[in-house]
Structure formats: C-alpha cells, structure tokens
Amino acid sequence: MKAIVLNLLAWPMLAIMDGFAKYLSYSLPILQITWSRYFFTVLIALPIMIFFFKKNFKWPKDPKLQLIRGLLLFFANILFFYSISIIPLAKSLTLAFIAPLIVTSLSPILLKEKVGIRRWAAVIVGFIGSLVVLRPGFMEINLASLAALGTGILYGLYLIATRKLNKSEHPLLTLLFTGIVGGIIGSILIPSYWVQPTISEWYMMFAIGLFATIGHLLLILSLVYADASKLAPFGYFEIIPNMIIGYIFFNNFPDHFHFLGLLIIISSGIYIFRRELSGRPT
C-alpha cells in the first residue's frame, strides 16, 4: 500500500511541472525551459545524494548507457515541452502514453524478450487509440502532435535503457546522472537562445526543477516497496491532475474522441503490463 501511495503522489508533482512549463512557454524558449528542468534538478538532487546517499555517490558502472539514457530523456523533454506549448496538456500526455507500447515493440530487439501475438495485438490496438486522438483526415495533424508522439517513442527507449540500468545502478544515482547529462547539454546550447527571465519566471523555472525532483524521488521511493512492473499501470494516473491543471489554468478540456483514444491506449498498456507481470510471452 505504501508503494502505491508514494507512486500516486509522484504523478501530480510531474503534472505541476508540466503546467509551469506550459505557462513559461508563452514567454521563454523551449530549450531554456528544458535547461531549467535539468539545472535545478541537479542543484536540488546533488546535496541530497551527498548527505543521505553518500555511499552510492560514485562513478556509474555503465557510463555509456547512462549517457544514452540522459540524452533520450533530454530530447524527449524538449519534444514534450514544445508539444504542450502548442496543444493541450492532456492531449500531449495521451499521445506520449504510447511509450509502453514502444517498449513492447522494441523489447525483442533491444532486450531479447519474447513478445507473443496477444501483446502485439495490444500494441496495434494502442496505436489505433493514438489515431483516434489525432483523427487524421478529420483534423489537421500539426507538428506539436507529432512531437508528442516523438516524446512517447523517445521515452519508450528511455524506459528500455532504465530497465538495463536498474540491474546495476542505484536509482538515485541514475536520476542525478540523467540530470547532469541534460544540464551540461542544455548549458552548452542555451546561450544562443537565452531570454532574460523576470523574477517570477526565475521562481517558476526553479519550481520546474523542484517538482521534477520531488516527483522522481517519490517514484524511486515507491520502487523500494514494490516492483516496477506492479506499479507501472499507476503511471496513467498522471492524466487526471494533468486534465485538472489544463482545465483550470489553460481552459482546455478533452473532447469525446480524446477520451475514447485515451481509454484505448490505457487499456492496451495495462493489458501489456498484466501479461508481463504474469511472465507469459504471449
């Protein structure tokens, strides 16, 4: 029960982070917002790692995979923040929910796992769900929607890298290293795009890093009490605070097609998780 509570508490934190990012996108470049997410995450997480997890504060065993993982999440964040700057938060997140389907699709190649016909069917159904949200032929598919799908693809690859790292690295070290990778890349690129923030924008940039850190720390703590496969379906809970924030602060609320597509994607994702949990390849 403790694992579920910690996991469910994490998702509103990440939804709040997304809300601040969307608000800042009206006045600041997407790359600058992404940089703030990583810079302030490292600023907050580094002292925690040093003071409370000093024995785990060491050079990673697989720095190459850590670097790849950090790059995947960095560019996934850029795509997602761009997406929410144009289209509603809930729609962007729904399209990004294809990540578990990407994991299933690529796991035979990258993880050497067996995927049976039922899981492949669930992947196809999930893809149909994304088409319901996009409604090609009925609505214009814009770059922001494609960016949200790109987020899901990159995040799926990120999850595959995380699976491999969880076998050898402390999760908090992985979180810190991911932040450092994004912070360094962002700091190299940001001078070309920098816009001087106001005091309130600095506070919001800090809040993005703060809520990102809190959210991921809660996720890490939840994994102490339960396996990732058992907690994975609770990730879909993020859509609820996401919708609330979108409605209250940005006057966006999903339509019937969005809800239908969301239901299809979530159903297929949960089915895949249940099959993985049972250990059956079919």
Strand partners, 136: 139
Residue 270: name the closest of 46, 119, 73 by CA.
119
Residue type, 79: L
151-196 tens-digit pLDDT: 999 988 988 887 776 666 677 777 888 889 999 999 999 998 899 9
Model confidence at 229, pLDDT cuts 50, 70, 90, reads low
Model confidence at 16, pLDDT cuts 50, 70, 90, reads very high
Q: Which two tokens stand for residue 185?
A: 């890349």
Q: Decide which of 33 and 270 is more confident.
A: 33
pLDDT of residue 275: 66
45-88 tens-digit pLDDT: 888 777 776 776 677 777 888 899 899 999 999 999 999 999 99
78-118 tens-digit pLDDT: 999 999 999 999 999 999 988 888 887 887 777 676 777 87
Number of domains in the chain: 1
Contact status, residue 21 vs residue 173, Cβ threshold 8 Å = no
Q: For 135-237, where are the alpha helices, taking DSSP H only?
A: 143-165, 171-189, 199-225, 228-231
Q: Decide which of 127 and 40 is more confident.
A: 40
Average pLDDT over residues 212-228: 80
Q: Which residue segment(s) compose the domain that 228 sits in?
A: 2-278
